[in-house]
A and B are shown apart, each in its own frame.
Chain A
């Protein structure tokens, strides 16, 4: 069997198409496992994983923890709010202290872009990036593509539009890289102030009109406006944002075709999408969450098999 080309999962940037295929095939098996009466397999009994969350998270952290537990790994959790980081400890010191307690793998979310890459060069453990600032969130992109594959059969050739705050979104960057790698067409849609200046260098087109973007696409991935990362105002008012870039049922129904609606969560209902869209049968938001556990199990399983 083929194996992953990488020792860490730091970003989609470091993966190739074969890696993604392998992760998806493995996730298929784990998806079957997590739908059994007993949802646990003993594969990773001898592996200890530390979840280091230097930034808030509910979904990702729970999803990783469930994935780890369903593989029977031992799990230790750490959140920055209640740790020695507040006392001035550096990242390498924190992690090396944890690793000296014989931890094999680190799942890390950090507010600084590149934190995982930095860590992988200085410590001796497998690192999984669970989001580093506005840089990458590889497992989210994998589960998004996996959900598209599940819903539409394949990712190749599909038209995907990513709507909203592209500038501050690690989900957007990882998704663009993953979708392009699998041969999908990608457009982004949002206020010009929330689009990165060099977005076209990623091979994606900008479509400033939401209706046109939706008419073009098979899948719309609606991102949240990341107010917590905004130090200035990027658009005049939330009301104006909703009018131009919010997706409501009326707009969705007027498209003349059934597109797939995705959202990485957390949803701000009434802002990027309305409640009736989020709860409609075109939305696969909760499928994404379920697939998240299977994808993370696959990634952890494949990386753990490289630990000697």
Chain B
């Protein structure tokens, strides 16, 4: 097993700043916009973006939630163990809001497919956009693409992209892990 650094802390922070600025370009005051982190790993990225928007750009109107998609996944009973659920925390109405889904790695697109179904339980959003840190292009199973993207990566199926966060793993970094 070998691993390669795709993004180090400094590059990652530049990208996070850029993603936040791209959001501002499109959402202006964020009056009707909400950020929803896809559990479990998307929540870290959502938190980071939220923090940058609030602290660096003074946008305090923005709301953030976490959405768990476990019960909406299409691989229930296909894996050996039960799928582990995480907390869903959305304390605002999604009805008629501009929703920004945030996830760390976009791979097959199935998680986002599940998230699109899951969010319907909280109302009918005006629109939904997708922000990802890493886009593993060429490995999509569904016609889903990000609107805001940190870095495109060409990785084969046997490889794994792992995003580490300072608040969880003690460092900001993205690794390409190869099992070969």
Q: Number of A-B pairs whose CB atoms are under 8 Å?
A: 57
Q: Which B residues lie within 8 Å of A26 (CB)?
A: 85
Q: Which A residues lie within 8 Å of B118 (CB)?
A: 41
Q: Which A residues lie within 8 Å of B117 (CB)?
A: 42
Closest B residue to A308 using CB positions: B77
Q: Which B residues lie within 8 Å of A32 (CB)?
A: 87-88
- Cβ contact within 8 Å between B120 and A38: yes
B143 part of interface (Cβ distance < 8 Å) = no
Interface string of B103-123 (1 = CB under 8 A from A): 000000000000001101111
B 62-117 contacts with A by CB, 8 A: 68, 70-73, 76-77, 81-88, 117
Q: How far is the CB of A161 from chain B (nearest CB, A)?
A: 34
Interface size bucket, A side? 20 to 34
User: What are 27 sample pairs from A and B whose C-beta atoms fall under 8 A apart?
Assistant: A1-B81, A1-B82, A1-B83, A2-B81, A3-B81, A29-B70, A29-B71, A29-B85, A29-B86, A29-B87, A33-B88, A33-B121, A36-B121, A36-B122, A38-B120, A38-B122, A40-B121, A41-B71, A41-B72, A41-B118, A43-B72, A46-B77, A301-B82, A304-B77, A305-B76, A305-B83, A306-B82
- Cβ contact within 8 Å between B72 and A42: yes
Question: Interface on chain A toward B: helix, strand, loop, or mixed SS?
Answer: loop
Supposing A29-B68, A36-B122, A43-B71 touch, asked if A305 and B82 sit within 8 A by C-beta, the answer is yes
Q: How far is the CB of B74 from chain A (nearest CB, A)?
A: 9
- Cβ contact within 8 Å between B81 and A33: no
Q: How far is the CB of A28 from chain B (nearest CB, A)?
A: 8
Q: Which A residues lie within 8 Å of B120 (CB)?
A: 38
A 265-308 contacts with B by CB, 8 A: 301-302, 304-308
Give Cα A191–Cα B37 distance, bound, in whole angstroms.
Answer: 57
* Residues of B near any A CB (own CB < 8 A): 68, 70-73, 76-77, 81-88, 117-118, 120-123
Q: Which B residues lie within 8 Å of A308 (CB)?
A: 77
- Cβ contact within 8 Å between B76 and A43: yes
Question: Interface on chain B toward A: helix, strand, loop, or mixed SS?
Answer: loop
Give Cα A1–Cα B84 distance, bound, in whole angstroms.
Answer: 6
A153 part of interface (Cβ distance < 8 Å) = no
Closest B residue to A303 using CB positions: B82
Q: How far is the CB of B112 from chain A (nearest CB, A)?
A: 16
Q: Which A residues lie within 8 Å of B77 (CB)?
A: 46, 304-305, 307-308
- Cβ contact within 8 Å between B121 and A37: yes
Closest B residue to A26 using CB positions: B85
Give Cα A1–Cα B77 distance, bound, in whole angstroms.
Answer: 14
Give Cα A307–Cα B72 distance, bound, in whole angstroms.
Answer: 18
Closest A residue to B77 using CB positions: A305
Q: How far is the CB of A235 from chain B (nearest CB, A)?
A: 47
Closest B residue to A40 using CB positions: B121
Q: Which B residues lie within 8 Å of A71 (CB)?
A: 71
Give Cα A42–Cα B121 distance, bound, in whole angstroms.
Answer: 11
Q: Which A residues lie within 8 Å of B122 (CB)?
A: 36-38
Give Cα A26–Cα B86 distance, bound, in whole angstroms.
Answer: 9
Give Cα A242–Cα B76 distance, bound, in whole angstroms.
Answer: 51
Q: Which B residues lie within 8 Å of A301 (CB)?
A: 71, 82
- Cβ contact within 8 Å between A3 and B71: no
Q: How far is the CB of A13 from chain B (nearest CB, A)?
A: 22
Closest A residue to B95 using CB positions: A37
A 1-40 contacts with B by CB, 8 A: 1-3, 26, 29, 32-33, 36-40
Give Cα A302–Cα B85 distance, bound, in whole angstroms.
Answer: 11
Closest A residue to B90 using CB positions: A36
In addition to A43-B72, A43-B73, A304-B77, 17 A-B residue pairs with Cβ atoms within 8 Å of each other are: A1-B81, A1-B83, A26-B85, A29-B86, A29-B88, A33-B88, A33-B121, A36-B121, A36-B122, A38-B122, A41-B118, A42-B117, A43-B71, A305-B77, A305-B82, A307-B77, A308-B77
